[in-house]
Structures are given as structure tokens and as C-alpha cells.
Amino acid sequence: MLCTLLRAALAAALAAAALAPVPAAASPTCAAEAAVTSSWGSGFTALVTVTNTGDAPVQGWTASWTHPEGQAATSAWNAGLGADGAAYTARSAAWNGGLAPGASADFGVQGTTVGGEVEFTGLTCGFDTDGKGDAVRIMPLGDSITGSPGCWRALLWRDLADAGQEADFVGTLPGDGCGFAYDGDHEGHGGYLVTNVAAQGLLPGWLEHADPDTVLMHFGTNDVWSGVPTAGILAAYDTLLAQMRAHDPGIRLLVAQIIPMDPDRSCGTCGQGVRDLNAALPDWAAANTTPESPVTVVDQWTGFDTDEDTYDGVHPSASGDRRIADRWFAALVS
């Protein structure tokens, strides 16, 4: 009798459980809107906001749109930008991809237009499901050779994408127009001295914002021009490398033997100053590299012609940008 009652009670409990409502699965939905922040006859900037309208947190978002004929997006900041004809896709950066329910992330877009009209046609958003969140986060670090406009960064990003290498360029600064869509985030600060960046403690904040896996550092041109000796520049490198490793013990540093400067168009001692710094870099890198956090020297100096590869004896021309991108590319993919 007792067994019969227990079986009946169990059957009743199972029936009740079968009738109980099943909690709804979390719904990953989002909304995107674009606002033009400035426009002029031939260009524009815009701010795009992606909002998690679902009821669960997400990690990694995308936004997609098209531009009508006569308009084009050329760079983005706070997001990686890719293009297929007139169709564009922006992907979250490493540090802004996580969105709680109701949270938003903004990214900027710069582009070209005719007549000042700007349209983001069919703007939609979604969440990453294809592993793009695993892209290597690369911080280009330096002065105006890296940042103004630094179109070698655009060429390098496109070369990596064409080679099937997933790269997310990161930094606090947006990219400039280089004629096609690319991921423009960087830390190329025009006029900066690496010794000042080290002395003023600027790098830790940039690292916290961008969270890079790899740093491409071409830094020291302004120091050479200002008469800072090689030992002082290397001491600044020591400080920056220590700050990188404090942020991420496994960070990878690719440091450039910097491009030459024409003494007739820069300073009389600049040519020798660059040679001295570049000659000292291999020993510095060898003394500081570790298996966990390797330091690799990238030769940006050999074969660089200041007459052909710069437009002013210091800053790269189109051929110089191509040469710099090729050297970084070979070092990265190896």
C-alpha cells in the first residue's frame, strides 16, 4: 500500500513539473543608431551607438550598414572597420565589446561624401558568433610617423586582413582618412618624445584603455631631433617596457629601428643620432626579451630612402608607408 501511495505521489509531482512554465531563454537583441557629428563638402564624421536591448550580457558586437553612391567610410575609432564594396561592418574593440542588458557602446566613423549629405542605410547590429573576439589586439605606438596620418597602419591592417590574420588595432586616438576603410585606432602622438611619455607616465592609461596583446613601437625621432642621447632614449624604452609588462606580463613588443632623417631637412646631427639609436637596439632587445614577453627588433631603417620614401626628409611618403607596412607585416606574421 505504501509503495502504491509513493508511486502515485511521484507521478503527480512529475505531472506538475511537466505543466510548470519553462523560463524563457535569454534573448540577444540589439539596436543601433547613427548621428552625424560634423560634415563638410567632401567629408563627415559620425557617432554610432550600439545598445544591448536583450536580457542577457553579451561579449562582442557588430554593426553593419551601406553608404549610397558618392559616400564612403574611410576609418573608424573604438571599433574595427571592414568593407566589401559599399557594405561596411564595424566590430567591437577588445575593451568595449562586453555589454550588460541595456548598456551601450559608441564608436566613431570618418568618411568622404559629395555635397555634405550622409546616410547610414540599413544600419543593423548583432553579436559576434564567429570568433572575431579572438583577434590579436595591436597597439601602434609612436609619434607623428605613426599617427599623422600614418597610412602605413591602414596598409598593414588591410594586408593582415587579406592574409586571413585577425587583427584589432587599438588605442585612444582615431584614424585618419587613407582612401579606404580600415581599423584606425592607434597611439601615434605627433610631436611627442618617448622620453617625455616615460617621464610623465602617460603609457599606463593608454594601455588600460586599449589592452593590447602586441605593441608596434616606432618612437624616438623627436628625441633624436631634440639632442637626447641614445642612452636616454633606451632608458625611456626600459620604462615603457616595464609598464607594458605590469599591464600584461605576456605582452609582445616589436620595436623599430627607426626610419632615417635627412640632415639637410631636419637637424645636422639627426642622421648620426638615428644611426646610433638603431645600432644599440639589437643589444637592448636581447637583454630585455623573455620567453613569456618577447622583444623583437624590426629593421625599418635599411633601404629606406629619405629622398623617395619621405615627403620632407622625416615623414613617410606613399612609398615610405608601403615600405614600413611591409616590414611590420613580415615581423607580425612570422
What pLDDT does residue 145 have? 97
Q: What is the pLDDT along the chain (334 residues), one digit of tens a residue?
A: 434 443 454 344 434 433 344 343 445 799 999 999 998 888 899 999 999 999 888 888 999 999 998 899 988 888 888 887 888 988 887 678 889 999 999 999 998 998 778 899 999 999 875 444 568 999 999 999 999 899 999 999 999 989 988 888 999 998 888 988 888 999 999 999 999 999 999 999 999 999 999 999 999 999 999 999 999 999 999 999 999 999 999 999 999 999 999 989 989 999 999 999 999 999 999 999 999 999 999 999 999 999 999 999 999 999 999 999 999 999 999 8
What pLDDT does residue 15 have? 43
Q: CA 149 to CA 175: how far, in whole Å?
A: 7
- Report CA torsion sign: 207, 209, 210, 211: positive
Q: Which residues pair with 187 in a beta bridge?
A: 141
* Non-local CB neighbours of 8 within 8 Å, separated by 6+ positions: none
Contact status, residue 306 vs residue 260, Cβ threshold 8 Å = yes
What pLDDT does residue 114 have? 84
Helix segments in the chain, DSSP class H: 2-19, 144-147, 151-162, 194-200, 203-210, 221-225, 230-247, 270-288, 306-309, 318-333
What pLDDT does residue 180 have? 87
What pLDDT does residue 205 have? 96
- Would you say how long the chain is, in residues? 334
3-state secondary structure of 304: coil
What pLDDT does residue 270 have? 95
196 Cα distance to chain centroid: 23
* Non-local CB neighbours of 32 within 8 Å, separated by 6+ positions: 48, 49, 50, 51, 63, 123, 124, 125
Contact status, residue 127 vs residue 57, Cβ threshold 8 Å = no
Integer angstrom CA distances of residue 65 from 50, 62, 68, 126:
13, 10, 10, 12
To which residue does cell 566613423 refer? 109
What pLDDT does residue 81 have? 85
- Which of the 8 DSSP states describes residue 186? B
List for the chain the helix, strand, coil content (%; round to 5): 35, 30, 35
Can the peptide bond before residue 149 be classed as cis, meaning omega within 30 degrees of 0? Answer: yes
What pLDDT does residue 218 have? 98
Q: CA 13 to CA 6: how far, in whole Å?
A: 11
* Non-local CB neighbours of 96 within 8 Å, separated by 6+ positions: 78, 79, 105, 107
What pLDDT does residue 22 have? 39
Q: CA 233 to CA 224: how far, in whole Å?
A: 8
